[in-house]
């Protein structure tokens, strides 16, 4: 295959089960599968661990340092959250998990490690502007300092910016959107609202499909939803998502740890053949 103008769209938290249950065919390219997440010593799949691995094949390493940004919720945790309603505590717990609090002994080895794409927007090191804004907004919503619809609009605008960038680029290019994850933690018990959020992003994916021929959609995990899952609702589920157009080879990856090599080995097949021959001693 040629990866000239191949787009990689990372949709954080796009849940394979929910896409299927709701029949959202816009997300389904020519080959689609449920993608199993990978956890590095964490109980649930971790956004800040998976995406750097996909782009750079770097794994989080144990360290005394924290990977979280300054997080006002940490102060509240230390003073105890038992007075808060269960639903809010679950929600806060899932957000702390996103921000790395529960895995403070793990950090990404090297955020500046080379990635496999020709160009990227809002992804590889993952400590990027859009993601930080989404996490900050989720905390503001949790504390009733920000209207949910207003926050969703801001995160959706960021997603549209990423989509516009992706469509306008050349080569093997990649971007990440966080809208589904942002909504999923808040609306994990609200099927009607979350389905609307999915349809909104399906619309953006349809725009991409109208403008590009070669596309890959990846999701790092799904969400434990109140109407299909057992507690704790609002934490990341094991139902990631993977879909490619027909120019990508089969079989396609089933586990998120396979995605990096799948992209790398198909990025430039001729170079990889030379690499293979070299490894086998046929070239010197
Ligand atoms: Zn999340």
pLDDT per position as a tens digit, 233-262: 999 999 999 999 999 999 999 999 999 999
Cα–ligand 1 centroid distance for 171 (angstroms):
29
Query: Up-side HSE of residue 227: CA atoms within 13 Å toward CB?
Result: 14
Expressed in angstroms and rounded, the spacing between residue 168 Cα and the centre of ligand 1 is 28
Per-residue pLDDT of the chain (284 residues; tens, 9 = 90+): 445 789 999 999 999 999 999 999 999 999 999 999 998 877 888 888 899 999 999 887 765 444 443 344 444 443 444 455 566 666 666 666 665 544 444 555 456 789 999 999 998 877 788 988 998 898 888 888 899 999 999 999 999 999 999 999 999 999 999 999 999 999 999 999 999 999 999 999 999 999 999 999 999 999 999 999 998 899 999 999 999 999 999 999 999 999 999 999 887 766 665 665 665 565 55
Kindly list the structural domains of the chain, giving each domain's residue range(s) and its CATH number in brackets, ordered by start: 6-279 (3.40.720)
Burial class from Cβ neighbours inside 10 Å (0-12, 13-18, 19+) for residue 46 reads buried
Q: Could you tell me the distance, in angstroms and rounded to a whole number, from the CA of residue 179 to the centre of ligand 1?
A: 10
CA 182 vs CA 6, 97, 122, 171, 191: distances in Å? 27, 13, 15, 29, 15
Near ion ligand 1, which residues have CB within 5 Å? 98, 181
Q: How far apart are CA 199 and CA 276, in angstroms?
A: 43
State how far the Cα of 152 lies from the Cα of 271, in Å rounded to an integer: 43
Task: Give 79 Cα–ligand 1 centroid separation in angstroms.
Answer: 24
Q: pLDDT tens, 196-232?
A: 999 999 999 999 999 999 999 999 999 999 999 998 8
Cα 69 to chain centroid, rounded = 18
Structure tokens at 28: 């389904």
pTM of the model: 0.84
């Amino acid at each position: 295959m040629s990866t000239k103008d191949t787009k990689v769209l990372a949709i954080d938290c796009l849940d394979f089960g929910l896409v299927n249950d709701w029949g959202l065919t816009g997300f389904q390219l020519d080959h689609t599968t449920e993608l199993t997440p990978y956890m590095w010593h964490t109980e649930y799949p971790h956004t800040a661990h998976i995406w750097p691995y996909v782009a750079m094949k770097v794994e989080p390493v144990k360290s005394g340092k924290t990977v979280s940004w300054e997080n006002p919720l940490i102060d509240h945790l230390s003073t105890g959250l038992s007075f808060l309603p269960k639903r809010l505590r679950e929600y806060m717990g899932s957000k702390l998990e996103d921000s790395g609090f529960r895995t403070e002994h793990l950090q990404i080895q090297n955020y500046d490690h080379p990635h496999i794409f020709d160009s990227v927007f809002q992804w590889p090191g993952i400590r990027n502007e859009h993601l930080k804004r989404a996490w900050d907004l989720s905390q503001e919503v949790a504390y009733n300092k920000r209207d949910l619809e207003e926050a969703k609009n801001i995160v959706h605008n960021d997603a549209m910016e990423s989509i516009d960038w992706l469509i306008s680029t050349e080569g093997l290019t990649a971007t990440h959107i966080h809208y589904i994850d942002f909504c999923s933690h808040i609306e994990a018990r609200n099927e009607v609202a979350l389905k609307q959020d999915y349809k909104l992003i399906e619309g953006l994916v349809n725009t991409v499909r109208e403008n590009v021929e070669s596309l890959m959609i990846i999701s790092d995990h799904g969400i434990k939803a109140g109407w299909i899952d057992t507690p704790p609702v609002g934490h990341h589920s094991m139902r990631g998502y993977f879909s490619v157009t027909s120019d990508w080879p089969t079989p396609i990856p089933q586990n998120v740890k396979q995605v990096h090599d799948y992209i790398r080995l198909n990025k430039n097949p001729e170079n990889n053949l030379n690499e293979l021959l070299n490894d086998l001693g046929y070239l010197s």
